[in-house]
Amino acid sequence: MTATALYTDLSGYYDLMCADIDYREQSEQVRRLHQLFGNGGNEYLDLACGTGPHIRHFIDFGYSASGVDINQPMLDIARLRCPAARFFQQDMSVLQVESPLDLISCFLYSIHYNQSIAQLKACIKNVHAALAPGGIFCFNSVSKNLIDNRPGIKRNLKQGDSEFCFQSNWYYPGDGEHQQLQLCIEKTTHGQTETWRDQHPMVALDFQQMQQLLEPYFDVHIFEHNYRTILPWNQLSGNAIFLGIKK
């Protein structure tokens, strides 16, 4: 499987693979943070929006919503899910918008799809330019120093006549600015099994580096990776929610 097959050729399986994600809980947490730290506006953009499940909730919250993704088949599904939203095919590192936004999110560690520090810097700069005064940038991140390279837990699901097995994990080789999101999909139908594997290149950095990249543009807050309550990052966990308020 190529590095983008999951998001193009296999886009119809993406929602099934993510069936255990509580999109509403994640969306509600970011909305709460926006209410606490934001400028009161309701113009919202989701970076790397995929098939649009987070956007669906923000529309229900009353936001004027839009989404950006690099993969057109994912956007095609998102448009069906969220006909009231606007969608654009773009690489987030070269983000351009037509009018200022009040909230930009990037869920599911997708900020790491910027595949180098240089691309991530460009993404942060362009997000800053896209935000209105006092606008918010919110995303989650993983620290390269605390990645567990072991294979992830397998999850089995059934759809129609087929049984699926999904597995994913981070892999960091121990140095440098590159890590991988490793994915495996097995589909078994009437005893015949197909297997797809993806090793998607992503940027690797620690939280100090991330904060340093953000600080020229944002007042930065780092929270525990907990979508049920708002707690400051404990300086120990390898996953965190970053919130930037535009300077």
Asked whether residue 167 carries a pLDDT value surpassing 50, the answer given is: yes
pLDDT, residue 7, reads 53
Report the pLDDT averaged over residues 212-228: 98
pLDDT, residue 1, reads 39
Domain covering 12-144+204-246: architecture: 3-Layer(aba) Sandwich (3.40)
Number of H helices, E strands in the chain: 6, 11
Q: Report domain 146-202's class.
A: mainly beta
Asked whether residue 20 carries a pLDDT value surpassing 60, the answer given is: yes
How would you label 138-165 residue by residue, b for 16+ Cβ within 10 Å and e otherwise? bbbbbbbeebeeeeeeeeeeeeeebebe
What are the two backbone dihedrals, phi and then psi, of residue 21, each rounded to the nearest 5 degrees? -80, 135
pLDDT, residue 153, reads 84
Distances (CA, A) of 221 to 47, 112, 179: 19, 18, 24
Asked whether residue 2 carries a pLDDT value surpassing 50, the answer given is: no
Which residues of the chain does CATH 3.40.50.150 include?
A: 12-144+204-246
DSSP class of residue 39? Answer: -
What are the two backbone dihedrals, phi and then psi, of residue 92, each rounded to the nearest 5 degrees? -65, -20
pLDDT, residue 19, reads 86
Name which of 47-56, 193-202, 230-239 the model is least confident about: 193-202
Which residues of the chain does CATH 2.20.130 include?
A: 146-202
Please list, in sequence order, all residues whose beta carbon lies within 8 angstroms of the beta carbon of residue 82, skipping any fewer than 6 positions away. 52, 55, 56, 59, 65, 67
